[in-house]
Chains A and B, each alone.
Chain A
Amino acid sequence: MTSNEKIPIPKMNRSRWGHPLVFIASIIGLAGSSAVYYAQIRARQKARNTFLEQSFYKEALELTQGYKPITEKLVEPIQPLQVDTTSKFNILSPLGAQKMQHDDVIWSVLNGQFCSYKQQKSKTQIFCANEYNLTGLCDRRSCPLANSQYATVREEKGILYLYMKVVERSHYPKKQWEKVKLHESYIRALKQINEHLIYWPRFVRHKCKQRLTKLTQYIIRTRRLMLKKTAKQELVPIKKKAERRETRHEEKAFVAANIDRAIENELLDRLKKGTYGDTYTFPVNAISLDEEDDESESEDEKEEEEEGENEQESEEEVEYVEDFDESDAEDMEDMGDDDIDEELIKALPLSKKRPLEIEYESVEIPVRGAERAGIIYCYATRNSPDDEWHVDKLEFKASNQPERYLFYDRELRRKSK
């Protein structure tokens, strides 16, 4: 509505409307919108000018004049953008501006092609062996490689740390992870996580807290277990293959060691030395221990000799074979049977290499009651040299028993009685 009346100029905000005439013009509606438009531009210009005249701006300008542009640090200056019109590849910046690493690109490579951390041990679940992984699973959100902004909670020697990584440090592997020590108190640690990951994606934050919970429980458990006795014992796994191997080696070593022989020698040495004194009555000097002599003879010869000796002597001589069991060597009480000379032969393995020959005419074998009780002795007797050897067993009974000894062979028993 055009009117000739003069409308009083109201109070206005200078900044908003600019020149007062603008306001009037707008109210009156003179010359439409174009006047307003140009007026506004002019207003803006003026504002800019006033800004430029300000002192603080001038100060800032002076400061920047002293600043050296980064290009001087370069080995070579950045080439100005050369638009090559000859080649058909003349496409400008937007392509060059493509970022180097996009999480999606990385994920498509890792998921599709190859990732060394990927563990597919079961058909249902794929795991991620990366030590910074939040969930332990291999998927888009949990992959520490495919997410440039990522955080984890990890435990080292009972202390929990929050690790964070951001895009800005993605190209500096050494400095990539920011390590924050979490508070010992669980609740405070939760608050810390909230603080540090305040504007982070909800997934990461939530999983960090879950992990914190799990780890604190784990630490509590570890501490409790350490106090137990079992913790002090170090558990070592049994390696089946090694065990099998070792037992077999042990067996072989045992056989090779010839413990029997070693004991034999030891005992005979002691006998010779005289450490046993008068305990044993058989003549020690008769015992031959020479290895050389024996080896020269063949086994057959020896046996013949022995047999021959046996036949020659009227009295019973027993091929006495020294053994580790001293019981047979010890004195035995005279049984009272003169006809039969009972000697002892222990049915024990002969040491073939060096059969010990002990020749003696009569042996008194005293028996001590209780010690001999229950032991069964094997012996051989014969009435005369022409007779055959008669092998029998003899058992000594305890002293409280009515009969001190018992022949197994009924005939002999009757005879003795």
Chain B
Amino acid sequence: MAASRPLVTVYDEKGQSTGKSVVLPAVFRAPIRTDIVNFVHDQMRRNKRQAHAVSTKAGEQTSAESWGTGRAVARIPRVRGGGTHRSGQGAFGNMCRGGRMYAPLKVWRKWHRKINLKQRRYALVSAIAASGVPSLVLAKGHSIETVPEIPLVLTDKVQDIKKTKEAVAILRKIGAWSDILKVYASKHTRAGKGKMRNRRTVMKRGPVIIYDKDNGVKKAFRNIPGVSLLSVERLNLLRLAPGGHVGRFVVWTESAFKKLDGLYGTWSKKSQQKADFNLPQPIMTNSDLGRLLKAFEIQSVLRAPIKRQARRKIKKNPLKNISLMSRLNPYAAVQKRSTLLKQLKGRRTGTTAESKVAARKARTHKSIRSNRLSGVNLVKKTSTEKVGTTTKTTTVATKTKTTVATKSS
């Protein structure tokens, strides 16, 4: 579905849209892999380094010898001879004054890095793709609020301008001037020794102009602070993702924009200018995770979410917890209630001595009576009576039982 790629309108140097539009190159659909960009940028940055080292002779130009033990001095080599301050001073060690440093720097350090071609290309492709996403360009820090469209494509006339004045006018018209004002505002002196090493001022990066044929563009734009210029044929990751962060503000010329498809290929057609290269495959065809997860196809296969998790129950003691006890033994509640009532009864009548005595009397009377009825051995009774009573008691006993029951219930 190459046809599903959108169209990008071409703007003229006055910031108005010409009627023309170009199909968006497939590069802008490539996966944006910031990790690869970061890595490759990091490696690439090392390639411009110049070797530096410390002199091999530094700190070694003495014939110092250690005095050994027994002289009440530390055992580092000391300078021979006499008659000068230097004699007897420590030498050679990195801790000594005037000694050689620890691990003296050598020129044969690995200054440059090899990066795999595919990685390089992947990073570049990601950087280009990111430059087409307005959010990422904004996040990088460019002020593109006044730009008519992203990606911004200008007519080929821009390639022919020769004067910086015209260049500035163009930038103003297309709404990129605010970004350059930001560059002006950010100019400051570098912190550190770079000041005296020809790197005095530091400033932000502005837009990058990518052209196909240089008929004066480079010279026209190069004096404007912040602006970088690149040819499509030789795109530089260090300019497209400065600092290792994707999303630089890019201004394309029409012919440059059209060349991208040929340079990087579309998935269905490989690159014509790079040998055996096609755009990297994304891992997900549809990376809108939010939408995917809500989709019916996935939701229908999932189990229901567990909203309330059953946690471990604390075991409660029935002897202390009445509700639990009554669940186990319903009569327990009854029993408890009766005891409570009894207690309350006693409380209501009061616990005076008289009442206590009376209560005890009542109890004993009751007990005596019940015993008599039940046939418990009482001293006063005769045996005959006993017999008679026993028969009686059987019937009565049941009675009493019931009465007791009724009382307690």
Chain B residues near A145 (CB-CB < 8 A): 135-136, 138-139
Chain B residues near A74 (CB-CB < 8 A): 7, 20-23
Identify the stretch in B52-60, B261-269, B328-336, B343-351 within 8 Å (CB) of chain A at 4 or more residues. B261-269
Chain A residues near B139 (CB-CB < 8 A): 109-110, 114-117, 145
Chain A residues near B6 (CB-CB < 8 A): 100, 171
* Smallest CB separation, B209 vs chain A (Å): 18
**B218: interface (CB < 8 Å):** no
**A113: interface (CB < 8 Å):** yes
Chain B residues near A83 (CB-CB < 8 A): 268
Chain B residues near A115 (CB-CB < 8 A): 139
Identify the stretch in B71-79, B143-151, B165-173, B221-229 within 8 Å (CB) of chain A at 4 or more residues. B143-151
Given A87-B270, A96-B26, A104 and B289 touching (CB < 8 A)?
yes
Given A96-B26, A146-B135, A174 and B5 touching (CB < 8 A)?
no
Chain B residues near A63 (CB-CB < 8 A): none
Cβ–Cβ contact A98 & B145, under 8 A: no
Cβ–Cβ contact A106 & B133, under 8 A: yes
Identify the stretch in B116-124, B279-287, B400-408 within 8 Å (CB) of chain A at 4 or more residues. B279-287
Among A95, A171, A176, contact of B267 (Cβ-Cβ < 8 Å) = A95
Among A73, A103, A112, A175, contact of B288 (Cβ-Cβ < 8 Å) = A103
* Smallest CB separation, A133 vs chain B (Å): 12
Among A75, A90, A114, contact of B20 (Cβ-Cβ < 8 Å) = A75
* Smallest CB separation, B178 vs chain A (Å): 11
* Smallest CB separation, B25 vs chain A (Å): 11
> Once bound together, how far apart are the Cα atoms of A99 and B270, in whole Å?
20
- CB contacts under 8 Å to B, within A51-104, are 70, 73-76, 78-79, 81-84, 87, 89-104
Interface size range of chain A in the complex: 35 or more
Given A171-B134, A174-B175, A96 and B287 touching (CB < 8 A)?
no
Cβ–Cβ contact B22 & A84, under 8 A: no
Cβ–Cβ contact A97 & B4, under 8 A: yes
Cβ–Cβ contact B5 & A109, under 8 A: no
**B213: interface (CB < 8 Å):** no
* Smallest CB separation, B351 vs chain A (Å): 64
Given A109-B139, A173-B145, A96 and B267 touching (CB < 8 A)?
yes
Looking across the interface, which residue of chain B has its beta carbon closest to that of A95? Answer: B267
Given A93-B1, A116-B140, A98 and B287 touching (CB < 8 A)?
yes
Identify the stretch in B27-35, B103-111, B352-360 within 8 Å (CB) of chain A at 4 or more residues. B27-35
Cβ–Cβ contact A100 & B132, under 8 A: yes
Cβ–Cβ contact A84 & B269, under 8 A: yes
**B386: interface (CB < 8 Å):** no
Cβ–Cβ contact A101 & B21, under 8 A: no
Cβ–Cβ contact B32 & A105, under 8 A: yes
Cβ–Cβ contact A96 & B135, under 8 A: no
Cβ–Cβ contact B134 & A173, under 8 A: yes
Chain A residues near B288 (CB-CB < 8 A): 99, 102-104
Cβ–Cβ contact A96 & B266, under 8 A: yes
**B141: interface (CB < 8 Å):** yes
* Smallest CB separation, A222 vs chain B (Å): 26
* Smallest CB separation, A50 vs chain B (Å): 33
Among B1, B7, B267, B286, contact of A89 (Cβ-Cβ < 8 Å) = B267
Cβ–Cβ contact B34 & A113, under 8 A: yes
Cβ–Cβ contact A96 & B246, under 8 A: no
* Smallest CB separation, B61 vs chain A (Å): 49
Looking across the interface, which residue of chain A has its beta carbon closest to that of B148? Answer: A174
- CB contacts under 8 Å to A, within B86-114, are none
Cβ–Cβ contact A96 & B29, under 8 A: yes
Among B149, B267, B286, B289, contact of A172 (Cβ-Cβ < 8 Å) = B149
Given A95-B267, A98-B29, A172 and B135 touching (CB < 8 A)?
no
**B258: interface (CB < 8 Å):** yes
**A170: interface (CB < 8 Å):** yes
Cβ–Cβ contact B149 & A171, under 8 A: yes
**B290: interface (CB < 8 Å):** yes
> Once bound together, how far apart are the Cα atoms of A96 and B145, in whole Å?
29
Cβ–Cβ contact B146 & A96, under 8 A: no
**B245: interface (CB < 8 Å):** yes
Chain A residues near B150 (CB-CB < 8 A): 171-173
* Smallest CB separation, B48 vs chain A (Å): 22
> Once bound together, how far apart are the Cα atoms of A90 and B266, in whole Å?
11
> Once bound together, how far apart are the Cα atoms of A106 and B288, in whole Å?
10
Chain A residues near B24 (CB-CB < 8 A): 100
> Once bound together, how far apart are the Cα atoms of A394 and B73, in whole Å?
77
- CB contacts under 8 Å to A, within B59-87, are none
> Once bound together, how far apart are the Cα atoms of A103 and B139, in whole Å?
13
Q: Could you say which of B7, B24, B135 has the most chain A C-beta atoms within 10 Å of its C-beta?
A: B135
Chain A residues near B129 (CB-CB < 8 A): 100
Assuming A75-B21, A109-B139, A173-B145, what are 16 further A-B pairs, CB within 8 angstroms? A74-B21, A81-B2, A92-B268, A93-B4, A96-B268, A99-B29, A100-B29, A100-B132, A100-B133, A101-B135, A109-B136, A110-B136, A113-B245, A114-B245, A173-B138, A174-B145
Question: Which are the 4 A-B pairs with shortest beta-carbon distances?
Answer: A116-B141, A145-B135, A93-B1, A89-B278
Task: List 19 contacting pairs A-B, 8 Å CB cutoff, sorted by A.
Answer: A76-B22, A76-B23, A79-B2, A87-B276, A87-B278, A89-B270, A93-B2, A97-B4, A98-B282, A98-B287, A104-B288, A105-B32, A114-B140, A114-B243, A145-B138, A171-B6, A171-B150, A173-B145, A174-B146
